[in-house]
Amino acid sequence: MSAIETPSGKGSGDENFPVASRLIAPGLRPHVMAYYAFARAADDIADNPTLAPDDKIARLDRLGAALNGEAGGYAVPVAQRLRASLLETGVPLADALDLLTAFKQDAVKTRYADWEELLGYCVNSANPVGRFLLDLHGEPAAARPLSDALCTALQILNHLQDLGDDYRRLDRVYLPESWLAHEGIGVDALAGSQSDLRLRRVIDRALDGVAALLPAARALPDRLTDRRMAMEAGAIAALARALHARLSRQDPLAVRVELSKPAKLWIAGRGALAAAWRPTPASETA
């Protein structure tokens, strides 16, 4: 293990959404896992509460240097494995390097002024994941806006799940400050064990923003040419809708708002089947 990594112990099984599920073609799953391992390592560095910001950025820069194949320094296996994967598959390095931009931002930026600024963060923190999967499967560029909508929705849902923990552990707040100020509250509202009515209105406003993204996310499978990838997208979009509904009913400060494993399997299965029954894209019948 590279000395720059600070593993949290989290793995693919701890994520809200499937990582390299059996819906992905077997030959592509190792490439997805190489990407996930790199993203997990970078995320663990950015979220480590014991590291100073400069230290986090130095470690993330080392990951980037190894991914770029730059000489010097010591080996970073997780980045070198991903580099080999990306070169083998022809997926652009930018699909991983853009993540590092977001993680370095996390190291120094703990507040977001408004919704537009938060969406700008998601451009690098979330959207590259979907773009990697699209590029890995050879999907058309026209699918990118729909994939971006799904990935941004997933990112914000994750932020809402972790509101209290992010604030207490990292002093990091992803709710727009202007929305909090409009309700006459500050970030310290996140320190409590439950949301008051004012904070609930801010959370609901963020959920409204996610709801505006979900129709595009739901349309993504119909734009994909690879049936397995379409089923994976359908499963993930269905899980996003279910988590959005649960966060609309439950308080993320009072309880850990999440889907049970049986519920995830049921919801993902239905979403995948719905995508499987979509009209066959012309490229599959050609």
Q: Could you report the per-residue pLDDT of 186-204, keeping only the tens digit for each?
A: 999 999 999 999 999 999 9
**What does the chain come to in residues?**
286
Task: Report yes or no: 32 and 20 within 8 Å, Cβ to Cβ.
Answer: yes
Contact at 8 Å (CB) between 158 and 118? no
Residue ranges, the chain, pLDDT below 70: 1-20, 71-74, 279-286
- Residue 280: predicted pLDDT: 58
pLDDT digits (tens, 9 = 90+) for 131-148: 999 999 999 999 999 999
Q: How far apart are CA 178 and CA 186, in angstroms?
A: 10
| Domains (range + CATH), the chain | 26-91 (no CATH), 109-285 (1.10.600.10)
pTM of the complete model: 0.91
Q: What is the pLDDT of residue 83?
A: 96
Give 88's Cβ-side CA count (13 Å radius).
12
Q: Which of 57, 45, 166, 133 is nearest to 101 (CA)?
A: 57
